[in-house]
Structure 1
Amino acid sequence: MNVKGNATVTLSVIVLVVAAGLTGFASAKNENEKISIVTEHLPPFQVVQDNRVVTGMAHQVVQAMLGKLDYSFEVRVYPWARAYQRALTEKNTLIYSIARTQGRENLFRWVGEVYRQQDYLWCLNANNNIRIESLDDAKRYLIAVPRNDNQYQFLTKNGFTSPNNLYLVTDWEQAIGMLRSERVDMIMGTTLSLAYFAEDAGLKLEDFKPCLRIDSQRDAMFIAFSQQTPDRVFNDFKQAYQTLVENGTLHSIQKRWENPPPKQ
């Protein structure tokens, strides 16, 4: 299901004005509680198409929650570092999808899990020169990773540094482009996300191979609020999420977006 709205595009920022039928209109109770929703392009969790459409697994979960609530809202699509910073610092800001990690645990208010998946280090399938059996081995190579995302935080925590063995990029598209042109040796991510980004880049998942399974790193992708968000707002969304779990809506959305990608 695609969600369409009017959009104004300025550089890397896309502001989506919510279309009729998607928002709960502000009631007297909630008229002063407009929700700012921030996200990034990260298939299959949230997909920006033609600068006008946002869809995806996490986006449809958020839609379903909002359909049960009485809040006005606005969705803004940013590069990840900017979306993350806004969710860290601004009241009534909801962010999706965001990996729940130990380092982030007390930085956000966690509404609910969208999906859980395994991380790998990936190299080009045609590259037979990379031999690694551990993270320490991987430090001999250059890895492209988006700034401030979960993989970046994991790698820096484990002793990787820029520019020694990390090449910082804006997003996954840039990371795949760097790998494709052999300007870096590897990228880090999940099979599901790589399958979608590879397709966007005109590649196939088979063009890549996992060089190392990161057993200590599984991405639990969540919907979360800023810490400055009032209890009443957070609890309303938490209850709406729980309803989706109990009535099977969450499971249905997850299955729709698992491989193979749904046709838009």
Structure 2
Amino acid sequence: MFRYALNLIKYISFLCFTLSSEAKEVKVVTEYLAPYQVNNADNSLGGLSTEIVQAIFKQANKTPNIIALPWARAYETASSEKNVMIYSIAQTKERLERFHWIGSLINEKLYFWGLKSQFPEAIDDLNQLKKFIVASARHSNVAHYLKRNNFKHNYKLVKEDQNILMLFKGRAELIIATELTLKHNAKKLNLAFDELIKIKEFTDLNSDLNLAMNLQSDPKLVAEFQRAYTEIKAQGVINAIYKKWGITEL
């Protein structure tokens, strides 16, 4: 009888813990970066990547508490707080062992961009570009690359979507971004995208934008989200979101 009562107490405790764990929100940090993460008219967070993340959470029967922050704060939060997720984060060599990787959200192709008035034609020699001022967000994969490859003239930004503005204001001579992002930001800021030129493809940093988790996160929770990602991808959910945003499957 005593053993039965003890087992019953253990079962109830386990059940309460499980229900509490399932009901608990998971903190997710990101930045505003169109079209991946955008501020909707009603101030809710939307965007291509956000929709994929929401689909993953729905499949995992979890609730996301998504907070939009400047990228440097988002990165530091996800690096230091257990069970915190971050997106859309590039999966680089430097970051590979710093996070648990849930799954790819989209592949991006990055380019050096400048104003046509300053750069009438493309430049293929990377060393030539090192003499120009390059704007990038702190703690971004671009900023890490520039530092590692001895780009001395860097303009550090708090928010990634400020880069095109710095270009038009003359505070930077080069920026690095995808065409899709720049078109969205140019439209939002009422700037002329046609005045920009692709100077060189940034092949060293072409990578997958991912959903990742803090390295100290609960392994079971990580596995749940990895499984949910695999399931929605197999179901065609991710491809459907691409098509909604006018992007073919990559």
Pairwise TM-score range, normalised by the shorter structure: 0.7 to 0.9
For 2:82, the equivalent position in structure 1 comes to 91
- Work out which of the residue numbers 178, 198, 202 in structure 1 matches 2:166: 178
Deviations 1:70-126 (A, max 9, x none): 334311110000000000010110111100000000001000001112111100123
State how far apart, in whole Å, the 1-side matches of 2:211 and 2:235 are. Answer: 18
- Work out which of the residue numbers 237, 240, 253 in structure 1 matches 2:225: 237
For 1:146, the equivalent position in structure 2 comes to 137
Is there any run of 5+ residues in structure 2 with no aligned partner, and where?
A: 1-16
For 2:73, the equivalent position in structure 1 comes to 82
Secondary structure class of the residue paired with 1:236: helix
Which is strand-richer, 1 or 2?
1
* Amino acid in structure 1 at the alignment position of 2:200: L
For 1:7, the equivalent position in structure 2 comes to none
1:39/1:96 contact within 8 Å kept: yes
State how far apart, in whole Å, the 2-side matches of 1:137 and 1:51 are. Answer: 45
Which deviates more, 204-213 or 239-248? 204-213
- Work out which of the residue numbers 22, 25, 33 in structure 2 matches 1:42: 33
Q: How many residues align?
A: 232
Change in Cα spacing, 1:119 to 1:152, as seen in structure 2 (3 Å) is same
Which deviates more, 101-110 or 27-36? 27-36
Change in Cα spacing, 1:51 to 1:156, as seen in structure 2 (3 Å) is farther
Query: What pairs with 1:164-203 in structure 2 (closer than 5 Å)?
Result: 165-203=153-191
With normalisation by structure 1, the TM-score equals 0.82
1:101 lines up with 2:101 in the alignment? no
Taking only aligned residues, the RMSD between alpha carbons, in angstroms, comes to 2.1
For 2:107, the equivalent position in structure 1 comes to 116
With normalisation by structure 2, the TM-score equals 0.86
Shift in Å at residue 222 of structure 1? 0.4
Is there any run of 5+ residues in structure 1 with no aligned partner, and where?
A: 1-25
Secondary structure class of the residue paired with 1:160: coil
Which is helix-richer, 1 or 2?
2
* Amino acid in structure 2 at the alignment position of 1:193: T
Highest Rg: 1 or 2? Answer: 2
1:34/1:73 contact within 8 Å kept: yes
* Amino acid in structure 2 at the alignment position of 1:192: L
- Work out which of the residue numbers 211, 216, 222 in structure 2 matches 1:223: 211
* Amino acid in structure 1 at the alignment position of 2:35: P
Secondary structure class of the residue paired with 2:109: strand
For 1:8, the equivalent position in structure 2 comes to none
* Amino acid in structure 2 at the alignment position of 1:220: D
For 2:59, the equivalent position in structure 1 comes to 68
Which deviates more, 115-124 or 61-70? 61-70
State how far apart, in whole Å, the 2-side matches of 1:67 and 1:214 are. Answer: 35
1:97/1:223 contact within 8 Å kept: yes
Shift in Å at residue 32 of structure 1? 7.2
